Each structure stands twice: as C-alpha cells, then as structure tokens.
Amino acid sequence: MNTQSCASWDLSKWIGCQKLELDTPCLVVDLDGLEGNLRRMEKSVRPFGKGLRPHVKTHKCSMIARKQVAAGAVGLCVAKLSEAEALVDRGLRGVLVTGPVVTPQIINRLLDVAGKDPSLMVVVDHIQNVQALQKAALSKGLIIPVLLDVDIGLHRTGASPARMLELANRIADQSALCLKGIQAYAGHVQHMKSHAFRKQASLESFQPAVDMLHQIRGAGIPCEIVSGGGTGTFDIDTAIPEVTELQVGSYVFMDAEYLEVGSADHAERFTEFLPALTLLTTVVSVNQKDFVTVDAGLKALYKDGASPIVRCPSGQRLRYDWFGDEYGKLSFDPGSAGPSLGSRIELIVSHCDPTVNLFDSLFVTQNDRVVDVWPIDLRGKCQ
C-alpha cells in the first residue's frame, strides 16, 4: 500500500478488496498490464536511439507520469497549459505544451511556469504568436524554449512545411525565444487499420517536414528536437532518422478504438500493448427480455470511438450501448440468461483519454485485488 498516492483516505479503504467489490461505475487499472506497456514501449524505441515524451493528456495522472519518467522518458507532453502547471508543481520536468498558447493571460501563466522550470517548452505555429511570446518573455527577462509546430496533414494546428523556414528564421531572430526543434504530429494516420498503409502514410506525411528541417539546419539554425508520432505509429516513426522522440499516449491503457487497429504482426488487432484500463459497472435493472441496464452511461464512458468491449466473467456474450447520461444497455443473445441484478461487468472503454477525464481516481489492481488508488489529478485541466 502506498498511502501517499491515495486520492483520499476515504478511498484507501478499498485497498485489499477484490476488484469486483468496488462501487461503480469506476475505472480500474491493471498494474502489471500498465507496467508491461511502459516497458514494451521503452524497449521498442531504445534500439533506434529515440526518446519517449509520453502524452499525459491520456491518463491525466501524475503517478503514471512519474512511472513513465522512471521507465526512461526524456520528458512529458501536455495538451494544455493547466496540465503543465500541475506537473511542474509536482516536480516533474521536461514538459512540452503541444498546443499553441495564444492569449495574454495564458501566456502570462506560461511564463510563471517557465520561471519555475526552464526546461518547459511550448509549440508555436504563427508569427503573431511568436511576437506575443517574445514580447511577454522579454518583459519578464525569460528565454522560452519553443518547438515550431508543423502541420503534416492533420490540419489542426501547425504551420505548413512551406512556411517552416521563414518561421524558423523569425523565431531565431527573437532574443527571448530559443528554437529547440520542430513538432510534427500525424494525428490523421494513427488509427488507420492497415499497418502497411499506416506506415506509408506516416512516412510520407513526415517527408516534407524533414526536407525543410534540413534547409533550416543548413541555414545555420540549430533545430535538434524532432517530436511527433503516436501509439499508432510507435514502430513506424522510429525508421525516420530525423525523429528524435515519440509523443505516444494511449499505449499505457489501450482502448477499444486502438485495439481494432492492425499491427505489424496481426491485420485485425493491435497486439503490442495490452488493455490495462477497464470500466467497472453494475447491473441495476433487469426487467427486460434481451437486455439489462447498467449504471454507466455518457458520464462514465465517453461516447466516442469504437464500441466498448464487454468482458463478462461468466463468459456470456454481451454488447454495450449507451442508454442516456447515467445508464448503459447490455444486450444478450435472445434465449440466453442475462446477467443478474447487482452483478459487476467490466468493459474496455471506447476512447481512453476523454473517459479517464470523467473520473477523479484510478483503482489500481494486481491479480484482481486493489493495491492502490491514484488520483487523476489533472482531470478537468482543459485550459
């Protein structure tokens, strides 16, 4: 028992209980599964000389971030500044904010964090943002390490490769900014079913950014970091010599959406990482012939991505569907007996990131017994 990690004393009472005794709905992490995923990811990128900067937005849990650092991560990614604030306050370092920070107030908050941790990095994708960061950092006497965010096909954030050299020059001109490298995230390819197509798409997406990188370096601008990739391309982007680190996220837990993606050795399934996160739910109503109602709906299981995968201890064939904000419908084959009132059902969630963000705690188990409770201490930090 690690009492320091408990979300509260009230929750520590669960330590030692069987998983299926937990009040529901709740999220359960299989510790061996999680640690196996961390080890396998480190082991798969190390031979290629790449680093990992895992994305904390997936798990929102500083305990897991510490484990990722302990496993060898070179740093951590966050989507929003409020996540960076929380990690730095908890003593974690090497944080990269992977989205642009643009308003004066949030830039001020960024500078407060940068004042505590000079290793904090942020991406930029527009000259206006470069100028705003420069002005604010200069006024505080700070130098902010930045990555140039390059759009390699997702079109969500990032400058086009054609604009990279110009922007890199502009960043290099700023006295209060230090260009550390580029970020290139091919979010649009991560869930492509075929590993072969995904490989081709990812390598092709990276190429224009990599070509421009050489021009930037050729112009005498140091640009050592190339950060990108995700769980879907963890064994693909290692083949790109210029890539220095991978921003993998979902591999820690896996989810139904990623499990449906093909891998190098299996056309239908993602085999390299094991599902380590489940949602536990309880049957609360049994008045229908071919389904029962469970206590996990939209607010406990985010409705996005693939259908949740039902793990039923008794081997019944069950299908989950959402049934409003608070409930789910668990259908069974006509003629078979449904789960009984009060029975617990375990689900692999559809899309782990937004589902984890619905809860305050992770119940950590080994051999189906609760061994710890970890606060999801970055939950709700979306600013």
Quick one: CA torsion of 42, 44, 46, 51, rounded to 10 degrees? Answer: -60
Asked if 31 and 270 touch (Cβ cutoff 8 Å), the reply is no
Q: Does residue 357 bind its own copies (CB under 8 A)?
A: yes
Q: Does residue 105 bind its own copies (CB under 8 A)?
A: yes
Looking at the Cβ atoms of 238 and 361, the one nearer to its own copies is 361
Interface characters, 270-289, with its own copies (x: CB under 8 A): ------------xxxxxxx-
Interface residue with its own copies, options 28, 110, 179, 296 (CB under 8 A): 296
Interface residue with its own copies, options 31, 307, 329, 371 (CB under 8 A): 329
Residue 354 sits at the vertex; the CA angle it makes with 302 and 36, to the nearest 5 degrees, is: 110
Interface residue with its own copies, options 2, 324, 333, 367 (CB under 8 A): 324
- Beta-carbon contacts of 29 under 8 Å, excluding residues fewer than 6 positions away, are 253, 276, 277, 362, 363, 364, 365, 374
* Cα 180 to Cα 221: distance, rounded to the nearest angstrom: 10
Q: Which of residues 199-258 bind its own copies (CB under 8 A)?
A: none
Q: Does residue 25 bind its own copies (CB under 8 A)?
A: yes
Token pair in block for residue 126: 């527009």
Looking at the Cβ atoms of 50 and 55, the one nearer to its own copies is 55
Looking at the Cβ atoms of 45 and 294, the one nearer to its own copies is 294
Q: Does residue 327 bind its own copies (CB under 8 A)?
A: yes
Q: Does residue 360 bind its own copies (CB under 8 A)?
A: yes
Q: Which of residues 65-104 bind its own copies (CB under 8 A)?
A: 79-80, 99-103
- Beta-carbon contacts of 352 under 8 Å, excluding residues fewer than 6 positions away, are 58, 59, 250, 253, 254, 255, 277
Residue 110 sits at the vertex; the CA angle it makes with 84 and 229, to the nearest 5 degrees, is: 50
* Cα 306 to Cα 60: distance, rounded to the nearest angstrom: 21
Residue 46 CB, shortest distance to its own copies, in Å, is: 28
Token pair in block for residue 117: 């941790």
Looking at the Cβ atoms of 93 and 109, the one nearer to its own copies is 109
Q: Does residue 382 bind its own copies (CB under 8 A)?
A: yes
For 371, counting Cβ atoms within 10 Å of its Cβ (0-12 exposed, 13-18 middle, 19+ buried), the class is: middle
> Across-strand partners of 245?
51, 227
Residue numbers at the binding site for its own copies (CB under 8 A): 21, 23-26, 57, 79-80, 99-103, 105-106, 109, 125-126, 128-129, 151, 155-160, 163, 187, 282-288, 293, 295-296, 298-300, 302-304, 323-327, 329, 341-342, 351, 353-354, 357-360, 379-380, 382-383
